[in-house]
Structures are given as C-alpha cells and as structure tokens.
Amino acid sequence: MKKIISIFLIFTLTISASAFCSFAASASETNASAAEDALTDASADGAAAGTSDASVSDSEETEAEVFETKSGKLTLEDYSRLEIEKESYEVTEDEAKEYADSVLKSYFGGDDEFTPTDEMAKQYAEENLDNGINNLDEFYEFTHNYLETNALQNALFEKLLEKSEIIEYNTEIYENVEDYYYDNLTYYAVRSSSFDPDTFAKANGYESADAYKKEATENVMSKIMVLEKVADDLGIEITEEDENEIVTEYLVSIGYEEVYTPEEFIQQCGEGWLYILTGLNLLYERVMTALEPYAVVE
C-alpha cells in the first residue's frame, strides 16, 4: 500500500520541538494528547504490527537453531503453514463503510449529521490515494479490501510471533530504542500532567519509567526481529533510499517537508525512532504481503 502513512495512519499530533518525533506505528488512529496512547505509541500501535510478544528465553542453551539478525538472536519455527481462522480477519461491509465514512468525516470535517458524497470520495482519493476512485461505492470497496488485508496480515503476524523465541537483543539498537521511548515518555509526562517520568509511568500502571521503557523496547524489538528474520529468508531488503522515502512521507503528513530534509529529521529524532518507523511500517508491510500465500484458512 503506497502512501500508507498519509492514508490511514492518521496523525493527530500537536507539533512542537519535543513532539516532532512522535508517531503512530499502526493502523489505529492515535491521539497524541492522550496519556494512555502516549504510553502505547509505536509498540501497540499497528497495527499494523500485531499485539503479541515473542517469548524471551531465560536460558542460553536451546535445541532449536538460533538465528542472528540486525536486532539480535532468536529461534523461529517453520512458518510455511500459518493456520488462521477466517473469522479472525473478516471485515463486514457495514464495518468497512463505517470506517470509510469516519475517514471522510475526519478529512473534510462535519457534525453528527455528516453525509459523505461521491465528490468527497473522489477528492479524497485524488489527494491521498491516486487510484482512480470516482465515487463512494468504489471508496467503500477499496476500504473493505484494505481493512480485510490488514486484518489478515495481523492474524498471520500473531501466528508468526507464536513460533518465535527471543534469545538476545542487539545492545546498541536496544539503547537507541530505549532512548526514544524515554524521551517520548518524558515529553508526554510534562505535557499531559506536569509529572516527572516516574510519576507519570506509575500513574499509567508501570512500576517506573525504567520499567516502561524496558517493556516498550523489548516489545517492539521482538516484533521487528521476527520481521528481519523472515525478510532475510525471503530476500527482502530495506535500503537507505527506502528509509528516506518513508521519512519524507512522514514529513509530508505533518507538513514539515519544506522544513527538514529526511537526513536532518533522522538526525534530530534519532536512530531509535527511525528503527521503529521503518520496522513497524515498511518492513512489516513488505514481509506480511509476501507471507499472505503462506496462510492456511481454517
């Protein structure tokens, strides 16, 4: 899905010097002003990247073959057959219509009596999708296909995570991702409640800021590590050009494409930010699209 950031990952961010590098990394809409969303941002998020964690081994010894990726070491069982239930990814036409209407309402603005039109659907498609949609019926069909594909990929990813076990994390990447999550937590702590990071983390169910950043970091890295292993198996690569393209799309989505080059923005936001953005969007999309033929529907 081209332009996935600007299509359905709708960013509702208040942009400031501290908030430039916050982003939603899933198919769910993210409200950056909500404390709960701040704490789940990029790790739940996702969607587009799934919700189950790979398990972490407490032992250095394992009978399964250990694989090494950029993010660390893991085991991964055979995934040539990923059995899923049809009900786990089916989306009804009514659900798709409701979602499509909400997208148009958010885009064009409207009250409770908002009524979408063919003209709105066509304009939205021309400005965001570039896929020739001319009316509401075509927009509803596109949305239904998009959501069902997304749900299928999520179901496949859940199965893939169940087959994995994390052995070891790459220390350098781990520290970069921890820094991202701690900075994000600190920003939202001050912005939302004028709390220090520890108090804010405790108010949201964590023992401390350190406990939050550890859980968030290992959650996201375990997902990306599995994606990296499958990408290696299937010959899928993410180039520097790919990274610059997805950062450019993000800059366009927040209206800062004339302010920063991709390289400048990456330098400001840090390697941890880029790692999450690329892994849970671009890498996820390519790997899960390639894995769709591995689905065995029960």
pLDDT at 68: 97
Q: At what angle do helices 284-291 and 209-234 cross, to 10 degrees?
A: 50
Residues 6-36: pLDDT tens digits? 333 322 222 233 355 654 333 222 322 222 3
Q: What is the DSSP letter of 290?
A: H
Mean pLDDT for the stretch of residues 93-108: 95
- Nearest residue to 74 (alpha-carbon basis) of 61, 83, 87, 65: 65
User: Token digits for 13?
Assistant: 């961010």
Look at 45 and 108; give whichever has higher pLDDT: 108
In a 10 Å sphere around its CB, with 0-12 CB exposed, 13-18 middle and 19+ buried, how is residue 14 labelled? exposed
Reported as a pLDDT band with limits 50, 70 and 90, residue 54 is low
C-alpha 157/C-alpha 155 separation (Å) is 5
The pLDDT of residue 39 is above 50: no
pLDDT at 56: 54
Residues 191-204: pLDDT tens digits? 887 789 999 999 99
Residues 261-273: pLDDT tens digits? 999 999 999 999 9
pLDDT at 20: 56
Q: Is the dihedral of CA 161, 165, 170, 175 positive or negative?
A: positive
54 CA to centre of own chain: 16
C-alpha 280/C-alpha 24 separation (Å) is 10
Q: What is the DSSP letter of 69?
A: E
Mean pLDDT, all residues of the chain: 82
The pLDDT of residue 49 is above 80: no
H helix intervals, 64-208: 93-108, 118-124, 136-162, 171-193, 197-203
The pLDDT of residue 169 is above 80: yes
Beta strands (DSSP E) in the chain are: 11-12, 30-31, 55-56, 67-69, 72-76, 82-84, 164-169, 295-297
pLDDT at 17: 32
The pLDDT of residue 162 is above 70: yes
Q: Is the dihedral of CA 130, 132, 284, 23 positive or negative?
A: positive
Residues 101-133: pLDDT tens digits? 999 999 998 778 899 999 999 999 999 888 899
**Residue reference for tokens 């972490």:** 56
Return the number of other C-beta atoms located less than 10 Å from residue 50's C-beta: 24
Mean pLDDT for the stretch of residues 216-233: 97
Of all residues in the chain, the percent with pLDDT exceeding 90 is: 68
